[in-house]
Amino acid sequence: MNEKQPRSRKKKPFPVKAVAIAAAVLVVCAGSGIGYYVYQAQQYNHVFFPNTVINGMDVSKKTVDQVKEMIASGIQGYSLVLKERGGDTEEIFGAEIDLKSEFDGSLENYLAAQEPMKWFSHRSKKTEYEIPTMIAYDKTKLSEKIDGLVCLREDYAKAPADAYMSEYQPGSGFSIVPEEQGNLLKKDVLTEGIAHAIDNLSKELDLEELDAYEKPEITSDHEGLQALADKLNRYVNMTVTYQFSDSRETLGGDMISQWISVGADGTTVLLDRDQVAAYVKGLASKYDTAYKSKTLNTSYGKTVTISKGFYGWKINQGEETSQLYDIIQSGESQTREPVYSQKANSHGANDYGNTYVEINLTAQHLFFYKDGKLVIESDFVSGNHAKGYDTPSGAYPLTYKQKDATLKGENYRTPVSYWMPFNGNIGMHDAKWRSSFGGQIYMTNGSHGCVNLPPAVAKVIFQNISTGDPVLCYHLDGTGSKSTSTGTKDTQAETKAAETTAAPTQAETTAAASAPSETTAPASSPAPEPTTAAAPSPQPSPSESSAAEPHPDPAESSPAPSPSETTAAESKPSGPDQAVFETTREIGPGV
C-alpha cells in the first residue's frame, strides 16, 4: 500500500514591494500637501488674509490696489442715510463735504506685516484694522451739515420726560405715568457717530442703535417709584366706616387722597393731621347732640323744646383724631364707633331714648320712664324761686348715684339716703324733712336748686336709674298747681322698689289727679341745632357728693311739721334750705 506523504508547508515571503509602494504614495501625498500649503501661502504676500476687515470693509483676499479701488468707487455718489426715531430719515452726501480718498501707506504696511505661512489659522480668525487716512473730507462742511439737520432743530426736538406718579383717580387710585423718550439728540455722540460712519463709508446710521438720544432718568420700572405707588395706594385703598346706629359715615380714598402728599425726599408719604382733625370735627358737628336743643312730647300731651343742658352724644375730637390718624397710617380698613367723651341713649329720633326722668318745673311733678314704661311719678320741690335758686331747665345726664351720702356745707352736714346729681351739684334726693311736695312750695320755701323727693320715690328712682341716663327739666305753661301732696314712709312704691316698673305711692296718687296716667313714655322728635353751644356745668365725681348740701341746724332737723305748719313753711325756707342759700350758694345746691 502506498502511504500518502504529508505536504510540507512553506512560509510566503513578506510583501516588501507593497509596503514600499504605500510609503512612496504617502511621501508623494505629503509632499503635494505641503506644496499646496506653501503655494497658498505665497499668494498672501500680495493679498490680505481671509476674514480681514479694514475700516469696516471686508478686504479678504484683496490686494492693496483692489482695496483702494473699493474705497474710490465707494466715494463716488456716496451718501449716508440717518435713521431717526419715529421713522424719519435725513441724508448727508459725500459731495457736500468734499469726500475723497486719501492713503498714507497703512494698507501696504498691514499687508507686509502678514506672515503668509500662518494663512490657515486666519480662516477662522477675524482680523480688523482701523486706518485714519483712507478718505478725507472737509470737516467744517460736515459740521455745518450736521448743524443744519432737522433732527437737531429746537422746534423739532422734544426732551425726554421722567415717569411720575399720577394724580389720584377715583376707583383706581394712584398709578405710574410712563416716561416719554422724546427725540432730543446728544450732539457730540451724533457727530462722532456720523464721522465714524463716513470714515467707513457706511451707507446707513441708525441713531437708535448709536444710542444718540437723551434718556429719561426715571422710568416706570424704577423701584423707588413703584414703592411710592404702593405706599400711596395703601392709604387710598382702605376705608373707615363709622357706625351711628342705623346711620353710617364711610371715609375712603376719595377723601384720604386729599390729605396725603409726598415728602421732599420723594419717597415719604405725609398725612395731614389737620385734615384728619377737620374731618372728625365734621362728624362731631353732624352727630354730636350735647348742648343742642331737644324736643320732648311731654306726659301732658304737649311738646316742649329743651334748649339748655349738655346731655347728648359728644365725640372726643382730640382722641378720635389721634386714633383715626393712626388707623389711616396703618392702612387697615375697619368699622368703628368714634371715641366719645359723653354718650347718650340713642342715635334715633331723639338722643335720650325711652329711659329718662321727665321733670316739669312748672307743675312740680316728675315722671320716670324706663324702656318706654312708666316706673313712677311724683310731686317734688325744686329750687327757691324767691331767692333766685330756681332749678335750671335743660337736658342733663345723671352724673352718678350714691347711697347714704352726706351733703356738706359750712357748719352743717345733711345726710340723705339717695343722692343722684345731674347738673353740677344739683341733683335729685330724698327730703325726709319735708312733709309736703308739689304745688307752689318752691316759690318761697324751695331748695337751693335740688329736686327734693319723697323718700319712697327717691328710692324707686335710685334703684332703677343708671349713670348717664337723661334728666329732662322743662317749664310748661298751664300745668302749675296749688295743690300739694304728702310723702309717707310706708308706701306701695317703696315696697316694690326693686321692680323695673313700680306702682305709684299713695302720695303720688293725689298728685297724679291732674297728670295723665300713661304707662308708656311719649314719643319725641329731634331737636333743632343751636348756633352756639353753651359751656357745660361742672360735674362732681362721686367723692364730691359730701360737698353738695349743708347739714341743717339742730332745730331744722326736727321731724316734719304738722299740716297746720304747712302755710308757714311755704312762706319761709325752713331747715337745711335756709342754711344752704345763706352760706353755700356758690358751692352747692340746697336741700
Q: Coil, strand or helix: which one is 192? A: helix
| Paired residues of 306 in beta bridges | 294
Query: What is the phi/psi pair of residue 327, to 5°?
Result: -65, -45
What CA–CA distance (Å, rounded) separates 101 from 91? 20
More confident residue, 14 or 356: 356
Same domain, 370 and 476: yes
What tens digit of pLDDT does each residue of 439-458 get?
A: 999 999 999 899 999 999 99
**What is the CATH classification number for the domain harbouring 252?**
3.10.20.800
- Mind listing the pLDDT tens digit for each residue in 35-45? 777 777 778 88
Measured distance CA(423)–CA(418) in Å, rounded: 16
CA gap 473, 68 in Å, rounded = 118
- In this prediction, residue 487 carries a pLDDT of 55
Residues 545-561: what's their mean pLDDT? Answer: 35
Residues 264, 385: one domain? Answer: no
Residues 386 and 487 both lie in one domain: yes
Q: Is residue 410 part of a domain?
A: yes
Alpha helix (H) residue ranges in 44-89: 64-75
Whether residue 477 is contained in a domain is answered as yes
The range of the structural domain enclosing residue 270 comes to 224-289+313-336
Same domain for 143 and 230?
no
Q: What percentage of the chain reaches a pLDDT higher than 90?
A: 60
User: What is the pLDDT at residue 11?
Assistant: 52
Q: Does residue 179 surpass a pLDDT of 60?
A: yes
Q: Of the ranges 111-120, 160-169, 557-566, which is most confident?
A: 160-169
Q: What is the pLDDT of residues 397-428, one digit of tens each?
A: 999 999 999 987 666 688 999 999 999 999 99
Is 343 within a domain?
Answer: no
How far is the CA of 155 from the CAs of 179, 211, 216, in angstroms? 21, 21, 19
Nearest to 456 by CA among 410, 421, 504, 411: 504
Residues 241-268 as b/e (b if ≥16 CB within 10 A, e otherwise) read ebeeeeeeeebebeebbebbeeeeeeee
Pairing label, strands 89-93, 79-83:
antiparallel
Is there a contact between 228 and 267 (Cβ–Cβ < 8 Å)?
Answer: yes
Q: Strand, helix or coil at 207?
A: coil
The string of pLDDT tens digits covering residues 572-589 is 333 333 333 222 333 344
Q: How far apart are CA 503 and CA 497, in angstroms?
A: 9
Confirm if 548 and 408 have CB atoms less than 8 A apart.
yes
How much is the pLDDT for 523?
Answer: 34
Q: pLDDT averaged over the chain?
A: 81
At 529 the three-state DSSP class reads: coil
- Residue 350's nearest CA partner among 282, 293, 283, 423 is 293
Domain shared by 331 and 356, yes or no: no
H or E segment to which residue 306 belongs: strand 303-306
Across the range 123-127, mean pLDDT stands at: 81
Average pLDDT over residues 237-265: 96
**Which of 152, 168, 200 lies at the terminal end of a domain, its last residue?**
152
- Residue 10: is its pLDDT beyond 80? no
Q: Which residue has the higher pLDDT, 270 or 541?
A: 270
Q: Based on the fold, state whether residues 424 and 570 are members of the same structural domain.
A: yes
Nearest Cα to Cα of residue 262 among 226, 219, 231, 240: 231
Task: For residues 514 and 536, give the distance between their C-alpha atoms in angstroms, rounded to a whole number.
Answer: 34
Tally of domains within the chain: 3
Would you state the pLDDT for residue 511? 34
Q: What is the CA radius of gyration of the chain?
A: 55
Does one domain contain both 407 and 546?
Answer: yes
Q: What 8-state DSSP symbol labels residue 540? A: -
The more confidently predicted of residues 105 and 97 is 97
Question: Does some domain include residue 125?
Answer: yes
Angular region, 422: left φ>0, alpha ψ -120 to 50, beta rest: alpha
How buried is residue 127: exposed, middle or buried, by Cβ count under 10 Å (0-12/13-18/19+)? Answer: middle
Q: Are residues 422 and 519 in the same domain?
A: yes
Alpha carbon distance 112, 68 (integer Å): 16
- 490 & 558 share domain: yes
Given a cut of 50, whether residue 532 has pLDDT beyond it is: no
Higher pLDDT, 240 or 519: 240
Task: For residue 294, tell me if it sits in a domain.
Answer: no
Q: How confident is the model at residue 358 (pLDDT cuts 50, 70, 90)?
A: very high
Question: What cell numbers appear for 259 in the block?
Answer: 390729605
Please give the residue that has the higher pLDDT: either 385 or 562.
Answer: 385
First to last CA, the chain: 177
Q: Do 519 and 394 belong together in one domain? A: yes
The three cell numbers of residue 183 are: 427725540
More confident residue, 69 or 228: 228
- Kindly state whether residues 322 and 359 are assigned to the same domain: no
Nearest-angstrom CA–CA distance, 44 and 61:
8
Counting beta carbons within 10 angstroms of the beta carbon of residue 475, is it exposed (0 to 12), middle (13 to 18) or buried (19 or more)? middle
Pick the residue with more confidence: 553 or 127? Answer: 127
Contacts (Cβ under 8 Å, ≥6 apart) of 389 = 383, 446, 447, 448, 449, 581, 585, 590
In-domain check, residue 193 = no
> What whole-number percentage of the chain has pLDDT above 70?
76
Q: Is the pLDDT reported for residue 553 higher than 60?
A: no
Helix count (H) and strand count (E) of the chain?
15, 30
CA contacts within 13 A on the Cβ side of 508 = 28
β-pair partners for 135: 101
Residues 404 and 370 in one domain: yes
Does 341 fall in a domain?
Answer: no
Confidence of residue 69 (pLDDT cuts 50, 70, 90): confident
Query: Amino acid letter at 1?
Result: M
**Which pLDDT score, from 0 to 100, does residue 327 have?**
98
444 contacts 569 by C-beta, under 8 angstroms: no
- Judged against a pLDDT cut of 90, whether residue 118 lies above it is answered with no
Q: Which helix (H) or strand (E) holds 508?
A: helix 506-511
What are the pLDDT digits (tens) for 330-339?
999 999 999 9
SS3 142: helix
The residue among 127, 152, 177 that closes a domain is: 152
Among 79-88, 268-277, 295-304, 497-506, where is mean pLDDT lowest?
497-506
- What is the pLDDT confidence band of residue 16, given thresholds at 50, 70 and 90? low
pTM exceeds cut of 0.75 = no
User: In this predicted structure, which of 116-120, 177-181, 375-379, 506-510 has the lowest mean pLDDT?
Assistant: 506-510
Pinpoint the alpha helices (H) of 385-495.
Answer: 441-445, 455-464, 492-495
pLDDT in tens, 480-513: 988 888 754 333 443 343 333 333 333 333 333 3
Give the least confident one: 67-71, 206-210, 453-457: 67-71
Amino acid identity for residue 10 in this structure: K
Which CATH number fits the domain that encloses residue 401?
2.40.440.10
Beta strands in 410-544 (DSSP E): 412-423, 426-430, 436-437, 451-453, 470-474, 485-486
Buried b (16+ CB within 10 A) or exposed e, 360-386: bbbbbbbbbbbeeebbbbbbbbbbbbe
127 forms bridges with which residues in the sheet?
A: 52
**Strand 260-262 versus strand 269-271 pairing type:** antiparallel
Domain endpoint, select from 99, 118, 152: 152
Task: Provide the pLDDT confidence category of residue 560 given band limits of 50, 70 and 90.
Answer: very low
C-alpha distance from residue 157 to each of 152, 194, 216, 267 (Å): 6, 19, 14, 31
Residue 482: predicted pLDDT: 82
Angle in degrees, 0-180, between the axes of helices 317-330 and 273-287, rounded to the nearest 10: 130
Please give the residue that has the higher pLDDT: either 564 or 160.
160
In a domain, 110, yes or no: yes
Whether residue 258 has pLDDT greater than 90? yes
